[in-house]
Structure 1
Amino acid sequence: MSLQPYSSPQPLHSAINVVLDTAYQGISDSDWKNLFASARQSGLEQFIADMFAGKHINNSEDRPALHSALRNLSKTPVLINGADVMPAVDDVWRRIDALCNKWVGVTDVIHIGIGGSDFGPRLAIEALAHVPGIESRGMRMHFLANIDTAELARILAHAQPHSTRVLIVSKSFTTLETTMNAKAVVAWLKENDCTKSQIAHALYAVTANVTAAKEFGIEEDNIYPFWDWVGGRYSVWSAVGLPIALQYGFETFKQFLAGAESIDLHFKNAPLEENLPVIMALALLYQQQKHDIKAYAVIPYADALDWFPKWLQQLDMESNGKSIDRDGKPVKHSSPIVFGSAGSNAQHSYFQLLHQGTEIIPIDFIAVREPMSDRPEAVAHHHILLSNCLAQAQALANGKDDVNPNNVYPGKRPSNLLLLPKLNAFYLGALLALYENRTATLGALWNINSFDQPGVEYGKVLAKPIEKALTSHQNNIQASAEIDAVTAARINFLNS
């Protein structure tokens, strides 16, 4: 082991039995004090209060960011411009509950959405499928996001058209991939002799643009609204999460919301020194300031959470991947690159780089104390899984000396250990809300607006004239203001 171990044991931090251990961050007590003082000086406490109070913290779009209201099961009034939003949220809850009891004989559900309309519900369906003894309602849940027809073809090859329901999920109801895929599924229903009435009965929408959903042909009773104060990547708590309730029952969906609400209350009320999202944010900020890190990894030692890093990539990098702050000034730091996958699989992939690569890459290790199956070998396997998680964190932190340079591990690679007591709907909701609130905290500390995403749109604008040129089948496209010379050459090659 190295002569100066990186470990600096701190008191364990916990909320609702979720434990955060920062001992391998290498942050001294005096550094922690400075971090908390700096957070207070930046106005973080006021930012948190303003977020839950419905203030327009999304300054570029002049909106609140009130996804916390979607999991406010206590129904405590939440005001936007003086009006309580909770009656409308509660109405959606009641409609979701009623729909769960209404669907009988449905074999397949095709959930059509992309980005925030896809990652959250897909993660939840995958994660909760591993919960021992969870009651599934027997429907096959399909997620259709990619405009590549390979995904569409795979789903339609297995779905039964006359007992299929279709959820079209788009905040704007103008997202190209979603509307194109929705039209293709409707065409498939027609090809399989579904009547106009049957198709109307099969189509449902989740959107903030009710008018556009009606124009598409969806009956008003089948439209579930959400609101412009909900960002797409924060929307799984709304009717976007319908697949969770439909697959596992409304009570499971409520438990998912309850876990998130519990973390929200902790984030809102706990002092900074005991506040899990704040501590996680400050630890990452410290590593940026000290080591100028460019990336961090999240490694859940639970196969059920293999989709979690993909969900987190959108949350962090779409929220905070910016070079300009709220005042239009350049920022020194913003979101690092996020990557990860389930341990221990990840150890056999890119851990070589984490241990002996030239860059320091902090890691969030996530572990679950209880096994995720009731197999007879589950406990023995789980002990091996946890031992790998703990061993990797120790090796990364402390390193190893050796006379052979090839066998030297430099150590001092920082990590968190996040421990969930079990993985069920409640703690899955808590995990997602913990990272949502950590992302918002980082945005506040960097003075970045975490609730808009203007950079996402530019490529979509440029795609339109390129699509037009491709569908023309001409191979003499010339460079223009909309298509540069390189792209024009590529279009001509594809059209040749």
Structure 2
Amino acid sequence: MTPLNTSEWQSLERHYSDLKYTSMREEFVLDSGRFDRFTASCGSLLLDYSKNRITKETMEKLIALAKSAGMKSWTERMFTGEAINNTEGRAVLHTALRNRSNTPVMVDGEDVMPAVNAVLEQMKKFCNQVHNGEWLGYTGKKITDIVNVGIGGSDLGPAMICDALEPYAVEGFSVHFVSNVDGTDLSTTLEILDPETTLFVVASKTFTTQETLTNAESARAWFLQSAKQEDVAKHFVAVSTNAEAVSEFGIDTNNMFEIWDWVGGRYSLWSAIGLPISLYVGMNNFERLLDGGHEMDNHFRNTPLEDNIPVIMGLLGVWYINFFGSQTHAIVPYDHSLA
């Protein structure tokens, strides 16, 4: 049964008819405790959803809808590694990437946490080598610039985080992101870089993504104008699962950081796709980012639906899209760095 056929949905439809012309200003006048009633918290985060077109009854009906849809059951199935991605028949386990409690997470009978921790340790070792000057360019100079070559989730998430966390950048390091197959994107970036001090991170799960490989090959051609083929391994690393293709490109497979098919692209910044983040702000700060993600995961998994921030935000989306017919969702960051 789809949610639209449930009694909970039909109850919301009737409720919407009664509520749709209600004034929010009037609701604040009538209910002095509205702010206290419609807030939720997790750690230092406070969600104020009191300025929405809702009443206590609205939220009770939305929560009833979530319960009838088996929200808690689906949540637990996700965290325990069931293949809830029905389209591809895969688990959805970005939560395992930030599972700081290190409890076992089973996929097809195998605990994935040892592999997750091994990649994190590989990232930490590599970042320390780059930051400490142990990893040097082909002329013996220290790396100063990181160029991430990727597209979609291999670009957008890490780029956003690096922009937001710029005040935490490791001194002496800059990060750049190239995703557009239009050569202007790459050439404009390379104009200000020195091949002797530039490190490229080529991020492609399959290492067959056309846009990414086109830019990676162009970056390699630029690099080889100054260096030799054997120097590529000092200036290019990969985030991928395709060791053969990575090796053919000229990247040492020891410098390939693994990702898994249960990591969705839009959540991949928590994996080795986040390597440019850790190189830019340091592995300690990347691990703090993981800690924060884990705290919110625990909140989502364990907090009652009535006080659950992700659930509340999701249900408000259902309320506006499906009942008010809203087609636009305004996102107004509280800080310019999150824009």
Q: Residues 223 and 41 from structure 1, CA distance in 2 versus in 1: closer, same or farther, beyond 3 angstroms? A: same
Q: Does 1:43 align with 2:73?
A: no
Q: Does 1:52 align with 2:79?
A: yes
- Given candidates 134, 139, 158, the residue that maps to 2:173 is 139
Which amino acid is the alignment partner of residue 264 of structure 1? D
In the TM superposition, what is the alpha-carbon distance from 1:135 to its structure 2 partner? 4.9
Instruction: Please list, as runs of the form range in 1=range in 2, the aligned pairs for 1:82-481 lying within 5 A after superposition.
Output: 82-103=109-130, 104=133, 105-129=142-166, 131=167, 134-192=168-226, 194-306=227-339
Aligned-pair distance for 1:215? 2.5
Number of aligned residue pairs: 301
Amino acid at match of 2:26: P
After TM superposition, what 4+ stretches of structure 1 lie above 6 angstroms from structure 2? none
The alpha carbon displacement at 1:38 in A equals 1.0
Q: Distance in 2 between matches of 1:18 and 1:31?
A: 24
Offset of 1:112 from its aligned partner? 0.1
Q: CA distance change for structure 1 residues 60 and 31 in 2, over 3 Å: closer, same or farther?
A: same
CA deviations over 1:138-191 (Å, ceiling 9, x no partner): 122111100111111111101110111110001121111100000000000111
The answer for the alignment partner of 2:53 in structure 1 is 26
Aligned partners of 2:280 and 2:45: how far apart in 1? 26
Q: Following TM superposition, by how much is the alpha carbon of 1:202 offset from its aligned partner in structure 2, in angstroms?
A: 1.2
In 2, distance between residues paired with 1:3 and 1:189? 60
What SS does structure 2 have at the residue aligned with 1:211? helix
List alignment gaps of at least 5 residues for structure 1: 307-496
Which residue in the other structure is 2:95 paired with? 68
How far apart are the structure 2 equivalents of 1:47 and 1:3? Answer: 33
After superposition, the Cα gap between the structure-2 partners of 1:191 and 1:165, relative to the gap in structure 1 and judged at 3 Å, is same
Q: Within 1, Cα distance between the matches of 2:24 and 2:81?
A: 51
CA contact (8 A) 2:232 2:250 kept: no
Q: 1:16 offset after TM fit, Å?
A: 1.0
Q: Deviations over 1:454-475 (max 9, x none)?
A: xxxxxxxxxxxxxxxxxxxxxx
Judging changes above 3 Å, is the alpha-carbon distance between structure 1 residues 3 and 123 closer, same or farther for their aligned structure 2 residues? closer
The amino acid of 2:309's aligned partner reads L
Aligned-residue offset at 1:214: 2.1
Amino acid at match of 2:158: P
Shift of 1:245: 1.1
Which residue number corresponds to residue 339 of structure 1?
none
Q: Contact 2:239–2:256 at 8 Å: present in 1 too?
A: yes
Distance of 1:25 and 1:86 partners within structure 2? 40
Shift of residue 211, structure 1, vs aligned partner:
2.7
Tell me which amino acid in the other structure corresponds to 1:35. L
Alpha carbons 2:247, 2:253 under 8 Å: kept: yes
Contact 1:139 1:247 in 2 (8 A): yes
| Partner secondary structure for residue 333 of structure 2 | strand
Per-residue deviation, residues 339-384 of structure 1 (Å, max 9, x unmatched): xxxxxxxxxxxxxxxxxxxxxxxxxxxxxxxxxxxxxxxxxxxxxx
Q: Any unmatched runs of 5+ in structure 2?
A: 1-22, 134-141
Q: Does the 8 Å CA contact 1:137/1:249 hold for their aligned counterparts? A: no
Query: Which residue matches 1:5?
Result: 26
Letter in 2 for 1:151: D
Q: Structure 2: how far apart are the matches of 1:305 and 1:270?
A: 26
Q: Is the 8 A contact 1:138 1:247 kept in 2?
A: no
The CA distance in 2 between the partners of 1:290 and 1:144, in whole Å, is: 40
Quote the Cα distance in structure 2 between the aligned partners of 1:3 and 1:271. Answer: 26
CA distance in 1 between counterparts of 2:230 and 2:245 reads: 20
* Counterpart-to-counterpart distance in 2, 1:3 and 1:96: 50
Q: Match of 2:236, as an amino acid?
A: L
Rounded Cα–Cα distance in structure 1 between residues aligned with 2:244 and 2:43: 41
Structure 1 pair 182–4 and aligned structure 2 pair: CA distance change class (3 A) = closer
Deviations 1:44-74 (A, max 9, x none): 1111000001000011111100010001122
Aligned equivalents of 2:185, 2:124: Cα separation in 1: 30
